[in-house]
Amino acid sequence: MFANTQAPAPAHPAQRFFVDLGDDIGTGRWWRGMASLVIMLAIAFLIASSPASLPARAAPALQSAQLGSLTAIRVAPLSKGGQTGMKVSATALVKPLKETPERPRIELVAELGAVDSFSGALRRAGVSMSDIAEATSLVQDHADISRLQPGTTFDLVLGRRTDRTQPRPLEELAFRAAFDLKIEIARNASRDLFVRPVPIRIDDTPLRVSGLVGDSLYKSARTAGLPSRVVANFIKVLSPRVNFQRNVYASDEFDVVVAHKRAETGETQTGELLYARLDGQGKDLEIAAWEKDGKTQYFLADGKGVKEGMSLSPVRGARTSSGFGMRRHPVLKRTRMHKGIDYAARSGTPIEATAAGTVIFAGRNGGYGNQVRIRHRNGIVTSYSHMRGFADGIGRGTSVSQGQKIGYVGSTGMSTGPHLHYEVHVAGRAVNPRSQKLPTGVELTGSELRAFQTELARLRGISPVGNKDEAGADIEVVNGP
């Protein structure tokens, strides 16, 4: 007979202690497991909500003397209550000082204010008037202190004084007197002040920036690194030849060269516009700066001035009260030829020359009242009448530029109210200023033109230095302000 080899049957599921709540849901066994879970959770909640207190020994409260000892030795800044040792009472060996000792020298910095002077800044820092006078005398041999810019800082060292009633003596003084010069003052072995100028090497290579106009010429040029005043001047200079609202496109290229200085100490200065070019959409406009008659002006490559013709009005924002032609005279009460244009404006409003030229008359002229007459190129003469007065420096023989102030609106002579009577004469005959374009621009000729074109070629050859910006413009990376 064979033995029964069948494995014993497993225990009934109800006999197992652990219950899987995922099986046999709803059976008696399942409800028994659920009840066990609820009971265990309740026991755990009761234990957590009322923990048993553990025995511990509380530290005794510190007395005032003990707290003071801890304060004296704790690690903390002196300004927050830290001390370097225990406080003890004075003994017989301690003797009071007659006066508090002074520091042997004081180092400080003074700054030149917006409305300030060299002596005023030093005086506020505590320098004596005698030392200020001596320092001023020493500095004036090397620099013009009246041209110091607001914000200039003075590094000072004041020495020990012999008496509290006296100011401290000036031991050292150092400041930037100019972009290329530093001044140092100190005392020698004989206790006399002496000055030492320290020249600063300057790299004056012009800065070139070029790129695409993009959405805005102003934004693109500013992004490329040009100061706002240079960009504004660039647009202003080209305005007589370019309509920036209609004739400039995103694909146009701009090229600008500006005066630029870099000191060996790292500071930089950006000067005025030297060269500008705008190219694209069938236009190629190129200009360069040139000094003529003591003033910086801008000319095209052929030597003609950028500004051509006359300004539209000699009084900005004025209203035209009477035009050119026949009219009934308001004073004479009869019809006669009105040989100019009247601009009504408040008395004292500035009057500007409509073109560059030379003053040939400035004074009283009968019914015209106070009058200025200016001779321009090509036999053109302009006159400005009924003026209240003349601008400073305006007289016979004075050279004026377009837009220069020559006088003020008034009501002198035969006039019924403040206004400017403006006339233009060509070959001695009065013409309507608004009826034709008069060639009054400045032009370079002869040797001056050749010198200008040599300078123009030099400016064209300046290479951009540095990196490219996001718009593809060449920019120079500089340090400092």
Instruction: Give yes or no for a contact between 256 and 221, defined as CB atoms under 8 angstroms apart.
Output: yes
Q: Is the pLDDT of residue 163 over 60?
A: yes
Higher pLDDT residue, 477 or 350? 350
**Which of residues 185 and 224 earns the better pLDDT score?**
185
Top-level class of domain 106-199:
alpha beta
Average pLDDT over residues 189-201: 92
Can you tell me the mean pLDDT for 124-142? 92
Are the beta carbons of 154 and 175 closer than 8 angstroms? yes
CA distance 407 to 372: 8
pLDDT of 111: 92
Comparing CA positions, the residue from 204, 250, 264, 255 lying closest to residue 226 is: 255
Answer whether residue 10 shows pLDDT above 60.
no
Q: Are 340 and 324 in contact (CB under 8 A)?
A: yes
> Chain-centre distance of CA 182, in angstroms?
23
Statement: residue 426 has pLDDT above 80:
yes
Report the SS3 class of residue 241. coil
- For the segment 354-364, the average pLDDT, to the nearest whole number, is 92
Whether pLDDT at 411 is above 80: yes
What confidence score (pLDDT) does residue 3 get?
Answer: 45
- In this predicted structure, the answer to whether residue 202 has a pLDDT above a threshold of 60 is yes
pLDDT at 134 over 90: yes
77's torsion region: left (phi>0), alpha (psi -120 to 50) or beta?
beta
Residue 443: the pLDDT is: 79
3-state SS string for 278-298: EEECCEEEEEEEEEECCEEEE
> Domain 319-431's class?
mainly beta
Query: Where, residue-wise, is CATH 2.70.70.10 in the chain?
Result: 319-431
Burial 21-54 (b: 16+ CB within 10 A, else e): eeeeeeeebbeebeeeeeeeeeeeeeeeeeeeee
What tokens appear for 334 in the block? Answer: 């009869």
What are 380's two structure tokens?
């053109």
Which of these ranges, 43-52, 275-284, 328-337, 393-402, has the smallest mean pLDDT?
Answer: 328-337
As a whole number, mean pLDDT of residues 399-428 equals 90
Interstrand relation of 268-280 and 253-263 (parallel, antiparallel or unpaired): antiparallel
Per-residue exposure over 231-247, b if at least 16 CB sit within 10 Å of its own CB, e if not: bebbbebbeebbeeeee
- Report the 10 Å Cβ neighbour count for 261: 17
How far apart CA 468 and CA 285 sit, in angstroms, is 24
- What is the model's pLDDT at position 303? 86
Q: Give the model's confidence band at 463: pLDDT under 50 very low, under 70 low, under 90 confident, else very high.
A: confident
Average pLDDT over residues 358-369: 93
- Predicted pLDDT at 74: 64
Q: What is the pLDDT of residue 422?
A: 92
Q: Where in the chain is the domain with CATH 3.10.450.350?
A: 106-199, 207-307+466-475
The helix or strand, by DSSP H or E, that contains position 170, with its residue range, turns out to be: strand 170-178
Flag the least confident range among 38-42, 287-291, 477-481.
Answer: 477-481
Question: Which is more confident, 114 or 78?
Answer: 114
pLDDT-derived band at 323, boundaries 50, 70, 90: confident
φ, ψ dihedrals at 415, nearest 5°: -145, 140
What is the CATH T-level fold of the domain 207-307+466-475, as seen in this structure? Nuclear Transport Factor 2; Chain: A, (3.10.450)
Question: Tokens in use for 294?
Answer: 């003591």
Range with the poorest average pLDDT among 240-249, 339-348, 385-394: 240-249
